[in-house]
Amino acid sequence: MPPIGLIRSRTAAARSRRRTPLPGPRGRPRTGRLGGWLNRNRRLAVALLLCAAAGIAVHQLTPAPAHTVPGLAAARDLPAGATLGATDVTAVSVPPAVLSLGTFTDAAEVSGKQLAAPLRKGQLFTDAQLVGPGLLTGAPPGSAAVPLRMADPTSIQLVSPGQLVDVVLTSGLGYEQKSASKVLAAAVPVLWTSEREGQSGQWLAAGDSDGLMVVAATPSQASALAGASTQGKLFFVLVNRPPG
C-alpha cells in the first residue's frame, strides 16, 4: 500500500490537470485567441479602426440632400427677340426659394414665345422676360401696355426694352398749318420694339409691325396715347430721368 503522502500528491496533480486547459486550439481560451490575432495583425486592426472612425466622421459631416424642384433655364446665351425652340431651353433642378411667381417649369409653355430681353446661359425663364402681358410685372397697379407706331420706323433701332422715352405728338403739315409738338407721356419705360423680333410680333395677331413700340403707361397716359397716331406723327425722345 502506497504511503499516504504519495496518494495525496497524486490526487493534487490530478486536480491540477483538470483545471489546466488542454493544449491545442480547442483548449485555448477565447481571450487568448483574440489577443494572439491582434498581436499578429496589429497594423490591420489599426487600419480597420481608422476606416471605421473616418466613415463615422464623413457620415456626421455630410449634409442631407437638399430639396429641389424642377425649372427651365436658358441652354445658351439668347438674344432679345429670339423665338424659343427646343434647343434653347433646358430642364434644371433648383431650390424652391429660387423659383419666383411666373417661373416656367414645362418646356411647352415657352415654346414659340419671344424673348423681350437677352438671357445668359443658365438664367431661369419667367413671364417677365417674354413678349406679352408678363412684361408689366412690377408696374404700378392699373398700368397698361400701349402699342405705338413711330413716324420714323428706323428710329426704333435706337431704343431697347427698359429704356425711358418721352412720347411726342407732332401735328400740322408744316406748310399751310404750323407744326405743333406735345409730350403725350413722359419717361415711360419701353417694353418691346419691333426691332427686337425676327418675325411678326406676338403683341399683334397679324399685320406689319415695322416701327412699332410697346410702352408701359399709367391710366392717364394710356388715355392720351390711345389713337394718338391718328392725330399726327409720333416720335420718341430718349431720357434718363425717372417718371415723376
Q: In Å, what is the CA distance from 170 to each residue of 14, 77, 80, 179, 235?
A: 131, 40, 30, 7, 8
Cβ contacts of 114 within 8 Å, gap of 6 or more: 81, 82, 83, 84, 130, 131, 197, 201, 202
d(C-alpha 167, C-alpha 219), whole Å: 15
pLDDT, one tens digit for every residue, the chain (244 residues): 555 554 555 555 555 555 555 555 555 555 566 666 666 667 777 777 777 777 777 666 666 567 888 889 999 998 877 888 889 999 998 888 878 888 888 888 888 888 877 889 999 988 888 877 788 888 888 888 888 989 888 888 888 888 899 999 988 655 565 667 889 999 999 988 877 554 444 444 444 567 888 899 999 999 999 888 788 899 999 998 765 5
pLDDT for 118 equals 82
- Count other C-beta atoms under 10 Å from residue 113's C-beta: 19
Q: Pseudo-torsion of CA 103, 221, 184, 153, nearest 10°?
A: 30
Let me know if 83 is exposed, middle or buried by CB neighbors in 10 A (0-12, 13-18, 19+): middle
- Exposure string over 200-230, b if 16+ CB within 10 A, otherwise e: ebbbeeeeebebbbbbbbbeebbebbeebbe
d(C-alpha 108, C-alpha 167), whole Å: 37
pLDDT for 117 equals 77
pLDDT for 75 equals 93
